Amino acid sequence: MTTLQALRYELAHPRTSVQLCVLGIMGGVSAAGLIILFRLGLEWVQLHYLATIGEFNTLAWYYRLLLPVGAAMCIVIVAWITGFRHYRMGIPFVIHRVKRHYGVIPFRTTINQFFGGMLALAGGFVVGREGPSVHIGAAGSSILGEWLKLPYNSIRILAGCGIAAGISASFNTPFAAVIFVMEVVLREYKIHIFVPVMLAAACGSLLTRWVFGAGHELSVVEFNHVGGWIYLYLVLVGIMLGALAALFNNQLMRVMRWFRPVSMVNRLLLAGLVTGLFGAVLPHAMGANFDALYAFFDLQPSLFLLLAVLASKLVLAVFAIALGVPGGIIGAVMVIGMLFGVLLLTPLSAFTDTAELTDNFALLGLAGMLTAVLHAPLAALSSVMELSFSPGVILPAMLVIVPAYVTSTQLLGNRSIFIRQLDYQKLRYTTSSVQETLQKTGVLACMDSEFKQYKSAPESAILAFLEKSPTHPVVQQLTFEIDVHYQLVQYDVSLGHETAPLRFYDMEGIHSQATLAEVYEILSKRREGGVYVYDTVPENIVGVITWNYLHSYLMREQF
């Protein structure tokens, strides 16, 4: 057995191993490298026309009008080159691919996401870079598994590693990246998945610190102590954030339905035009850059200007995301939450000095909005913990997160925006409990390689072998003029008086990368027989899996 074959056999088992950890590191480095290239490319583009990254207010009004339209036209050109049918990207699409296709990401969609996301962010659209980070990270890591022809259960873990490394490399928040993968994408906590994902996130953070430094975009944020009576007000803040999140999600889905009959080209151009018009009048409305947002807070804007920027960001984020601009929703939601949090700080100025609480309410607004829009309270809490570098944020954040989540879900019936987008696009993201269990184990881990293969042998020869070795699977090869068929031969245990001693079951072949879930799909229809596992070509049989074994495996996993 070669080293690569031994690696495949080991990774087919759902357990923590050195090989899986090393593979997680390799996938994390691959994904983080792509994200670093993406960030460097974005900065290189923006610094050609901006004095500071994200500061669109330094441009003349006519440049702010034309920039998003030009970016939309370039996005259309990229989509035309790669093929419009490959214009599917973003976190909902990645969730679908992870749940239904083991995290294998089509290459052309990744090209669209890389260059389209760069153009969208450089063009001033109110979108975040976490969408491209998740998509590119998953692709950069899973392509390693495809190249090595690893079992699909390990490729799914690799995709999770790539997503964690991508988010970590983009925002330098490794802990939040791990929680996001577990809570939002994979939606499960298994130790053999958790360990390589943590390693990948650590690699992403190390690489991005080596290139961009140890800080992050919110490193200037300082969380100050909050007085006891303000805790009661934070509950109200959470309720308001939950209501705003429900409004945001509902309007986003409404705009998606309104413009569904419109062609993709026209939708993108419309998004560019709307962004350009708002940006020409109000430059602070463009983009979703945290440094630019804090520069705006330093100006101590009036209440009217703060309201105008918040409303503009809401409208532009809804139109950009709903009309298909290739960017992420999380960055936009975080910026909107920070603006709304600072806005909700205004009433407290009548009772106390609020000068030192701006950072606090910006972070708490981010946490509450992120929770209510994504339904990811742990990811939101871990994000503000890492961004603030302060354990003092935990209790205030909880007092905002819980009412925001309850208000959004129970009182207003709001669901996760990713789930709503998946339902709208008719992308499947759920599996049965049986399928979910079986998808974690590759066929190489459970197949019986000690089988006996005959080529059109007489029944007497097969019967003689089974009398000596009754537990060994027997495969009968039948060669025809244009095809070869395989049959599983077993003793007939039906207890019939006139039945033959042997039963023959037609067998289907399954590739060695497959999981037990694919075996179950084939055998569950008749609940008998078996499948054969092949390596490179169907004629190269390496093992057999019977229904009896699969059934006993399920019972063992259940109890």
- In angstroms, the Cα distances linking 142 to 102, 152, 259 are 9, 10, 33
User: In 3-state terms, what secondary structure has residue 246?
Assistant: helix
Same domain, 234 and 358: yes
Q: Which of 371, 400, 430 is the last residue of a domain?
A: 430
Distance CA 447, CA 173 (A): 41
Domain assignment present for residue 439? The answer is no
Domain assignment present for residue 212? The answer is yes
Do the beta carbons of residue 334 and residue 351 sit within 8 Å? no
- In angstroms, the Cα distances linking 214 to 239, 456, 469, 470, 526 are 35, 68, 64, 64, 58
Domain assignment present for residue 331? The answer is yes
The per-residue DSSP string of 73-95 comes to HHHHHHHHHH-GGG---SHHHHH
Q: Which of 405, 430, 455 is the last residue of a domain?
A: 430
Same domain, 356 and 233: yes
Same domain, 266 and 408: yes
Same domain, 388 and 464: no
pTM of the model as a whole: 0.91
Same domain, 243 and 318: yes
pLDDT at site 491? 77
Domain assignment present for residue 437? The answer is no
Domain assignment present for residue 395? The answer is yes
Distance CA 30, CA 34 (A): 7
Same domain, 284 and 171: yes
Distance CA 222, CA 243 (A): 27
Calculate helix-pair angle for 290-298, 329-345, nearest 10 degrees: 20
Q: Which of 408, 402, 398, 406 is nearest to 226 (CA)?
A: 398
pLDDT at site 200? 95
Same domain, 469 and 425: no
Cβ neighbors of 383 (< 8 A, separation 6 or more) are 173, 176, 366, 367, 370
Q: Look at the chain and report how many structural domains it folds into.
A: 2
Range of the domain at 401: 3-430
Domain assignment present for residue 111? The answer is yes
Instruction: Please give the backbone phi and psi of residue 512, each rounded to the nearest 5 degrees, phi first.
Output: -65, -15
Q: Which of 397, 430, 463 is the last residue of a domain?
A: 430
Same domain, 527 and 398: no
Which domain CATH number covers 475? Answer: 3.10.580.10
pLDDT at site 1? 63
Same domain, 320 and 197: yes
- Work out the burial of residue 228: count CB atoms within 10 Å of its CB; fewer than 13 is exposed, 13-18 middle, 19 or more buried: exposed
Domain assignment present for residue 536? The answer is yes
Q: Which of 435, 437, 472 is nearest to 454 (CA)?
A: 472
Same domain, 425 and 458: no
Alpha helices in 282-328, H assignment, sequence order:
290-298, 303-322
pLDDT in single tens digits along all 559 residues of the chain: 688 888 999 999 998 899 999 999 999 999 999 999 999 999 999 998 888 888 898 899 999 999 999 999 999 999 999 888 888 888 999 999 999 899 999 999 999 999 999 999 999 999 998 899 999 999 999 999 999 999 999 999 999 999 999 999 988 889 999 999 998 998 888 888 889 999 999 999 999 999 988 777 676 677 777 777 788 999 999 999 999 999 999 999 999 999 999 999 999 999 999 999 999 999 999 988 888 888 888 888 889 999 999 999 999 999 999 999 998 999 999 999 999 999 999 888 777 777 788 888 999 999 999 999 999 999 999 988 888 887 888 899 999 999 999 999 999 999 999 999 999 988 888 888 888 889 999 999 989 888 888 887 777 787 888 878 777 888 888 877 677 888 888 877 665 555 667 888 888 999 999 999 999 999 988 888 899 999 888 888 899 999 988 988 888 765 4
β-bridge mates for residue 448, sequence order: 544
Same domain, 352 and 486: no
pLDDT at site 399? 94
Distance CA 499, CA 98 (A): 47
* Other Cβ atoms closer than 10 A to 526: 10
Domain assignment present for residue 93? The answer is yes
Do the beta carbons of residue 191 and residue 16 sit within 8 Å? yes
Same domain, 452 and 409: no
Residue type at 122 in one-letter notation: A
Which domain CATH number covers 409? Answer: 1.10.3080.10
pLDDT at site 306? 93
- Work out the burial of residue 273: count CB atoms within 10 Å of its CB; fewer than 13 is exposed, 13-18 middle, 19 or more buried: middle
